[in-house]
Amino acid sequence: MSPDSIHKGSPAWVSNSKGKRHMAQTKHWEPLQSFLEILTGLFSVEVVVIDAHCICVAGTGPYKLGIGLAAPKDTRLAESIHSGVQTVMLRPREEGTCLHCSQNAQCKDQANYTAPLLLEGRIAGAVQIVTFDQGQRMALLECAERAFMLVRQLVDLLHRTGALPLETRAENAEGRNSLDALVGHSLALATLKEHIIRVAPTTAPVLLFGESGTGKELAAQAIHTNSACAAGPFVPINCGALPEALMESELFGYAAGAFSGANAAGKQGLWEQAAGGTLFLDEIGELPMLLQVKLLRILQDGMVRKVGDAKLTHVPTRIIAATNKDLRHMVRQGSFREDLYFRLNVMPLYLAPLRERKEDIRPLIMHFITRECRAVGSHTVVVDPVLMAKFMEYHWPGNVRELKNFMEYGIAFSKNGRITWEDLAPRFETPYDLLPQEGTPVQTPQHQPRSGITTTMVQAMLVKHGKSVPGKRAAAKELGISLATLYRIMAQKGK
C-alpha cells in the first residue's frame, strides 16, 4: 500500500496527532507487530489490534500510526470488547453499529472482520481485519478468518510463555438481550434486526414465526430491550411446558383460598409479574382453547382476573408471542381461535432457518467458541477446514440451537486446540431414524448388531483402509453397512 493510499485510508482517530499516546501499554504486545507485517503481506489486508482498554497495541498500513492511541468507544472494534461478538461488515457505514459510529463520515473501509481475543476464557483485546480495496471485499470473508486464527494463536502463545500478561475489563460481559445477541451478517438477519427496531417502540403485540431453534426468544428480548418498557421485567413463558391444569393459575395467579391446597395469601401470576415490561408467550400454539378465550379478552382491555377472584385488575404489559407452528392451518382446523390469531398477528416477524442463511454459520461458530471458552476458562479453539465445509453443507434441522450443541460438544472433546470432522462425524452421519427408539434394548458387547458384523471384522477393515474418515467410509462400504452402523460397532469397544 502506497503512502498516498495510506493517507487516504487513515481513520480519523488514527490520524489524530493530538490524541494522548499510551505507549507503556503497548510494550508487551511488541512481538505481535512484526508478525502482523508478514501476515498482511500474505493476505493483502490490514490489521489492527486493541487491548482490553481499547488502546491500539499493534497495526499495519494506516493503523501503524495509531499505536498507543485509544480507539473510540463507539466503533465496532471497541464494542467487540464489551459485547464479545464477532462480526463481518460487508457494507461499512450502512449497517449495524456503523450507522451511529463517530467515525462514519471518515471511514474508508470497504469491508471488515472484527473479533474479540480470548486469554484464559476472558476477553483481553480485539482484532479488526480491514480491506480498503473494493476488489478484496468478498475475498475478505475467507482470508480474514484464517488471518484472525493466526493472530489469536500467536497472542495465546505470547501469554502462555509469560511475555503477555493478562489484562481484562470487568465490564466485558456479553451484551445480553440486545441486537448483538442475534449473531450473523446475512440479509435475512439484517432484515429481521431492521424490523425489530421498527416494531420495538410500538405497543402493539408482536408474533414471531420460525422453526424451533431459530432464536425467537433472543428476538423477543431484543424487542423488549429496544422498547419503551425496557426498564421493566422481561418474563418468558413456555406455553407448551406448563401443565394444562395449572396453566391458568400460573399465568393469571389466584386469590386466597381459590382452591384446596392454595397458598393462603394467594399468588401473583406471571402476567402481573410482567407489569410495566414484556410478557413473552412462547409456543403460543400449545395454549388450550379455554385459555385462548381468556387471553383474547385480556388483550382487548388489559384487565386480568385471578383464579377465584371476582375483581379485575388493569395490568399494563407488552405482549410478544412466538410459534413454530402454522397458526393459519390451526385456525382452519379449529384448534386455534381466528380472532386471537388476528389479535396477536399485528406485527408479524419471520425468523429464517439456518439452512436459508448459511453465511451466518461462521460468525455463530466464532460466537459460541468465544462464549463457551470464556465460560469454562479454557484456551480458545479453532474449527478444522474440513469440518467447516461439512457445517456449510449440513441442513441443520435443529437450526442455531443444534449448531450451539455441536460446538459445546466439540469444544469439550477437542484436541490440541482444534475441533475436527472426526470429533463430530457421528452426530452428522446418524440419521434420526437410526437412533435407538424408546423400548429398544441397548446393545452390549455380548450382543452382536443385527447385521452380523462383529467388532473383529470392523477392526480388520480399519487396518486395511485406515482410521481416517475416508478409510472408515471405505470400510463401511466393503462391509455393506452404513457409516453410522460402523461407528456404533466401534463404540462397543470404546474406539
Residue 134: per-residue pLDDT: 77
Rounded CA-CA distance 398/353 in Å is: 9
Higher pLDDT, 250 or 218: 218
* 306/419 same-domain check: no
* Number of neighbours of residue 477 by Cβ within 10 angstroms: 14
Distances in Å between the Cα of 393 and the Cα atoms of 6, 267, 354, 361, 363 are: 39, 50, 11, 11, 16
Instruction: Output the nine-digit C-alpha cell for 170.
Output: 470487568
| Predicted local distance difference test score (pLDDT) of residue 106 | 78
Residues 6+ apart with CB under 8 A from 358: 186, 392
- Quote the pLDDT of residue 245: 67
Query: In this model, does residue 471 exceed pLDDT 90?
Result: no
Q: Give the span between the Cα atoms of 297 and 305, in whole angstroms.
A: 10
pLDDT at 2: 41
Question: 153-170 pLDDT, tens per residue?
Answer: 888 888 878 888 877 544
Whether 190 has a pLDDT exceeding 80, the answer reads yes
pLDDT of residue 430: 46
Angle between helices 421-429 and 399-413 (to 10 degrees): 140
Question: What span, in angstroms and rounded, lies between the C-alpha atoms of 396 and 358?
Answer: 10
Helices and strands, counts by H and E, the chain: 19, 16
Indicate if 397 and 338 belong to the same structural domain: no
Shared domain for 373 and 304, answered yes or no, is no
- What pLDDT is recorded for position 452? 57
Q: What is the CATH number of the domain that holds 152?
A: 3.30.450.40
For cell 441397548, name the residue.
442
pLDDT band at 3 (very low <50, low <70, confident <90, very high): very low
Say if residue 397 is in the same domain as residue 339: no
Query: 447: pLDDT confidence band, cut at 50, 70 and 90?
Result: very low
* Residue 74, C-beta contacts closer than 8 angstroms, at least 6 positions apart: 97, 100, 101, 102
Do residues 124 and 198 share a domain?
Answer: no
138 pLDDT more than 80: no
Q: How confident is the model at residue 145 (pLDDT cuts 50, 70, 90)?
A: confident
The per-residue pLDDT for 187 is 84
Give the pLDDT of residue 146: 78
Determine the 3-state secondary structure of 271 from DSSP.
Answer: helix
9 pLDDT higher than 60: no
Per-residue pLDDT tens digits for 211-244: 999 999 999 999 998 888 888 999 998 888 777 6
Q: Is the pLDDT of residue 89 over 50?
A: yes
Q: Which of 292, 317, 351 is the last residue of a domain?
A: 351
Provide φ and ψ at 253, rounded to 5°.
80, 180
For residue 347, pLDDT over 90 is answered with yes
For the chain, the domain total comes to 3
Residues 138 and 238 in one domain: no
Which pLDDT value is given to residue 178?
A: 65
| Domain of residue 113, residue span | 3-160
Residue 363, burial from CB neighbour count under 10 angstroms (0-12, 13-18, 19+): buried
Strands (DSSP E) contained in 375-493 are: 382-383, 418-419
Structural domain ending residue among the three candidates 328, 351, 374: 351
Sign of CA dihedral 440, 443, 446, 451: positive
Of residues 480 and 128, the one with the higher pLDDT is 128
Indicate whether this model's pTM tops 0.75.
no
Residues 147 and 279 in one domain: no
Greatest Cα pair distance, the chain, in angstroms, is 83
Average predicted confidence (pLDDT) for the chain: 80
Looking at the fold, whether 245 and 386 belong to one and the same domain comes out as: no
